[in-house]
């Protein structure tokens, strides 16, 4: 009787092993099936984006400052506000304008073409940055650089023509500060050590202009209060202690 019992146990063991192997195989197959049926990742969520926006022929495009990627802009969400702000910026049609938006990316049908393409969906327009660009990630030097004025005491600087744009230069060879205030050219001295920066009393030409004189005087006053600076890529920030008084961007040398 021991012989048949042992045989019975041995057969049951083999049967159990076969069932276990079958279950493992099914589990492996079902896992592979799940991988094969896995859906593509969903569109990216809302994110803050800054880039150069252009609009022409009823179509907008956005070039992301961080990656350099170019995306068409969908005619939905807060796109109408973005288009309106672009029109109010008083720039040439089709010219790029630096903007900040909140939105996401999705795959949408191409216009007048087959297939799909990555498209920017603007969920909220934030603001425009007139006369600004994405700039360079490479840090510009404080001295011997032409710094174009972008913002003064929190107010964006706008100019009708480029040659009227205020700028500042710090010449290391001459140890002098000079520039253009929008109406008059100014000059003076400066001292810098580490992150500290001070400008001496500024002299200026005495031209009278029909407009912009108040802004120019505000710039001269602000420069006289500067105690330190920060440079982020191609952007220069001037501070009076903790208060940001002026913001500039590195540009090609002034003529």
Rounded Cα distance between 157 and 160, Å, is 10
For residues 155 and 124, membership in a common domain is answered with no
Answer yes or no: is pLDDT of 239 > 80: yes
Residue at 56 is within a domain = yes
Token pair belonging to 53: 């926006």
Rounded Cα distance between 204 and 43, Å, is 55
- Domain around 83: 47-129
Reported as a single tens digit per residue, the pLDDT across 218-237 is 999 999 999 999 998 888 99
Residue at 141 is within a domain = no
For residues 170 and 220, membership in a common domain is answered with yes
The partner residues of 131 in beta bridges, in order of sequence, read: none
Give the pLDDT mean for 89-95: 87
Q: Looking at 96, 129, 162, which one is the last position of a domain?
A: 129
pTM of the model: 0.59
Q: What is the pLDDT of residue 158?
A: 75
Least confident piece of the model among 12-26, 103-117, 128-142, 238-252: 12-26
For residues 164 and 125, membership in a common domain is answered with no
SS (H, E, C) the chain: CHHHHHHHHHHHHHHHHHHHHHHHHHHHHHHHHHHHCCCCCCCCCCEEEEEEEEEECCEEEEEECCCCCEEEECCCCCHHHHHHHHHHCCCCCCCCEEEEEEEEEEEEECCCCCCEEEEEEEEEEEEEECCCCCCCCCCCCCCCCEEEEEEECCEECCCCCHHHCCEEEEECCCCEEEEECCCCEEEEEEEEECCEEEECCCEECCCCCCCCHHHHHHHHHHHCCCCEEEEECCEEEEEECCEEEEEEEEECCCC
Q: What is the pLDDT of residue 45?
A: 61
Residue at 10 is within a domain = no
For residues 78 and 173, membership in a common domain is answered with no
For residues 151 and 242, membership in a common domain is answered with yes
Q: What is the pLDDT of residue 58?
A: 86
For residues 115 and 172, membership in a common domain is answered with no
For residues 92 and 124, membership in a common domain is answered with yes
Residue at 134 is within a domain = no
Token pair belonging to 154: 């929190």
At residue 27 the predicted structure's pLDDT band, cuts being 50, 70 and 90, is very low
Q: What is the pLDDT of residue 160?
A: 63
What is the CATH number for 226? 2.40.128.270
For residues 120 and 150, membership in a common domain is answered with no
Rounded Cα distance between 170 and 147, Å, is 9
Number of domains within the chain: 2
Residue at 67 is within a domain = yes
Reported as a single tens digit per residue, the pLDDT across 34-85 is 434 444 444 446 788 889 999 988 899 999 987 889 999 999 999 999 999 9
Dihedral sign, Cα of residue 133, residue 195, residue 243, residue 152: negative
Residue at 225 is within a domain = yes
What is the CATH number for 83? 2.40.50.540
């Amino acid at each position: 009787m021991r012989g048949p019992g042992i045989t019975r146990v041995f057969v049951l063991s083999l049967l159990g092993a076969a069932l276990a192997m079958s279950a493992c195989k099914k589990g492996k197959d079902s896992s592979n099936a799940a991988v094969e049926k896995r859906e593509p990742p969903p569109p990216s969520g809302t994110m803050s984006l800054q880039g150069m926006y252009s609009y022409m022929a009823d179509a907008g495009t956005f070039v992301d400052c961080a990656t350099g990627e170019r995306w068409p802009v969908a005619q939905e969400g807060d796109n109408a506000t973005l288009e309106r702000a672009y029109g109010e910026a008083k720039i040439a049609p089709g010219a790029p304008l630096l903007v900040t938006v909140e939105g996401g990316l999705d795959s949408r049908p191409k216009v007048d073409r087959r297939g799909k393409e990555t498209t920017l969906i603007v969920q909220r327009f934030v603001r425009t940055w007139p006369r600004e660009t994405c700039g360079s990630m490479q840090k510009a030097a404080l001295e011997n650089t032409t710094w174009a004025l972008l913002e003064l005491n929190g107010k964006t600087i706008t100019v009708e023509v480029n040659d009227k744009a205020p700028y500042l230069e710090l010449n290391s060879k001459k140890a002098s500060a000079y520039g253009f205030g929008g109406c008059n050219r100014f000059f003076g001295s400066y001292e810098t050590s580490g992150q500290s920066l001070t400008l001496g009393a500024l002299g200026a030409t005495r031209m009278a202009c029909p407009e912009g004189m108040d802004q120019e005087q505000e710039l001269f006053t602000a420069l006289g209060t500067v105690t330190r600076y920060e440079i982020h890529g191609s952007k220069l920030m001037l501070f009076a202690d903790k208060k940001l008084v002026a913001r500039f961007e590195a540009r090609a040398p002034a003529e």
